[in-house]
Amino acid sequence: MSQKRRTFLGTLGAASAAAFARRDVFAFAPVDSLKGRTYDVAVIGAGVFGAWTAWHLRQAGRTVLLVDKYGPASARASSGGESRAIRLSYGPDEIYTRLAHRSLGQWRALFAKVSRPELFQQTGVLWLAKGDLPSPRASLATLKRLGLPHEHLQEDDLRRRYPQMVVPDGGWAILEPESGALLARRAVHAVVADAVASGVDYATADVRPPQGGSRLSELLTASGEVVRAGAYVFACGPWLGQVTPRALEGRIFPTRQQIFFFGVPAGDRRFAPPALPTWIDFDQEIYGMPDLEGRGFKASDDSHGDPFDPDRGERLVTAEATAKVRALLARRFPALKDAPIVETRVCQYENTSNGDFVVDRHPGFDNVWLAGGGSGHGFKHGPAVGEFAKERVLKGDAPEPRFALAGKEKAQKRAVH
């Protein structure tokens, strides 16, 4: 710790200093060397899918190595950034509603365990719709059928409850009161830290694509170290097509996604929870979050952006994207139409051809598994995907058909929202 930081913490008092130090820092020191180490399972990629897979495997009693080339939830990762929505509405895709509901319980249980309940912000999620669009109607039916908490808000309800938002004629919404936002980067760090505390080894290393056939005995890193394990899980996010080219090259599509945070008027609580929930404008393919922790009102275009290189791509927003989001604010939240941009981010989705995840065995190795294809909606599902991947590794049985590699094509046609 620097002298300047140490001095600053000293002025806070012991209790406050501990809270400050705990806010962003989780302990997961990397192992010094992999030499002479062999594991039951090595998980490559410490984003949300990989971190939770390692966590679940350790809970099942396996020795586990978790590896990432930049670090857990790094600035280049799809799991990086400050916040991600967690919502249950998925139109006709009940499988994702069930996974999201299961994941929410696991997220909250972990945050309670590590004394960080603030990593889930129960803002509620408002799914905005208009007319008789089939997907929102199907979401409403699924939530009713599964008995999950929700409200069906009509046009007048919305205008009365959210006067800071323009509701078009024929507008209506689904409100999920128990959903909200996950503080993404810190949430992944919490998973990794708890996994390490329970016995998982973490290493920072750039793993090369697997070589050979039938059964993988080891992996090499760019620095020449050797990773040895009985089984391997590749959960590399936007790098999955590069690191496992024999299985997924041309079937993982990283796209450039641009995020904006707008400064809210001074003293104005209309754009912070509980006055405003996390929101999704289904018809416009745009979503956002209220002002969390004073970082600003978040808004982003959910439609797929241009192809993007997660290693070398520059992360600066464009004038075109800025204009598009500002136009949305002018329509939906007119009090923010001239709000200053206080922060921007460029991240990436790693899309499959249709938006379904990949959790399946590698076609060339009987002890290698793939877990990825978050497709812009995967973060919330990390606990359930990790649990599902753990089951496949330990049981070796067939995957869920929606997550099978065989269903992933080399041309995009988005079907999951």
Residues 67-94: what's their mean pLDDT? 96
Least trusted range by pLDDT, from 16-30, 256-270, 302-316, 325-339: 16-30
Question: What stretches of 118-273 show up as alpha helix (H) in DSSP?
Answer: 134-146, 155-161, 184-197, 240-243, 245-248
Question: Is pLDDT of 30 > 60?
Answer: yes
Residue of 188, 243, 246 lying closest to 50 (CA atoms): 188
Question: Is pLDDT of 258 > 80?
Answer: yes
Which pLDDT score, from 0 to 100, does residue 23 have?
A: 54
Residues 387 and 395 sit within 8 Å (Cβ to Cβ): no
Distance of alpha carbon 374 from its chain centroid, rounded?
A: 8
Residues 357-383: what's their mean pLDDT? 97
Higher-pLDDT residue of 1, 198: 198
Please give the DSSP secondary-structure letter assigned to residue 360.
E
The confidence band for 24, taking pLDDT boundaries of 50, 70 and 90, is low
Residue of 102, 38, 20, 2 lying closest to 382 (CA atoms): 102
Which pLDDT score, from 0 to 100, does residue 15 have?
A: 39
Residues 6+ apart with CB under 8 A from 278: 85, 87, 123, 124, 125, 126, 179, 180, 181, 287, 288, 289, 290
- Separation CA 289–CA 85 (nearest Å): 8
Question: Is pLDDT of 64 > 90?
Answer: yes
Q: How many CB atoms lie within 10 A of CB 83?
A: 24
127-164: per-residue pLDDT in tens?
999 998 899 999 999 999 999 999 999 999 999 999 99
Residues 341-345: what's their mean pLDDT? 98
- Separation CA 365–CA 344 (nearest Å): 41
Determine the residue type at 323: A
Domains of the chain: 27-79+185-251+354-407 (3.50.50.60), 120-180+253-351 (3.30.9.10)
What sign results for the dihedral spanned by CA atoms 293, 295, 296, 297?
negative
84-143: per-residue pLDDT in tens?
999 999 999 999 999 999 999 999 999 999 999 999 999 999 999 999 889 999 999 999
Residues 288-304: what's their mean pLDDT? 96
Please provide the DSSP assignment of 16-36 as one string: HHHHHHHHH----PPPS--TT
- Separation CA 144–CA 127 (nearest Å): 15
Which pLDDT score, from 0 to 100, does residue 25 have?
A: 66
Residues 182-206: what's their mean pLDDT? 97
Question: Is pLDDT of 208 > 70?
Answer: yes
Residues 222-248: what's their mean pLDDT? 96
Which pLDDT score, from 0 to 100, does residue 4 have?
A: 37
Question: Is pLDDT of 2 > 50?
Answer: no
The residue written with tokens 């890193």 in the block is 221
309-334: per-residue pLDDT in tens?
999 999 999 999 999 999 999 999 99
Question: Is pLDDT of 1 > 60?
Answer: no
The confidence band for 417, taking pLDDT boundaries of 50, 70 and 90, is confident
Residue of 45, 30, 118 lying closest to 82 (CA atoms): 118
Which pLDDT score, from 0 to 100, does residue 12 have?
A: 32
Question: Is pLDDT of 10 > 60?
Answer: no
CA dihedral 186, 264, 304, 82 (to 10 degrees): -10
Residues 265-283: what's their mean pLDDT? 95
The confidence band for 284, taking pLDDT boundaries of 50, 70 and 90, is confident
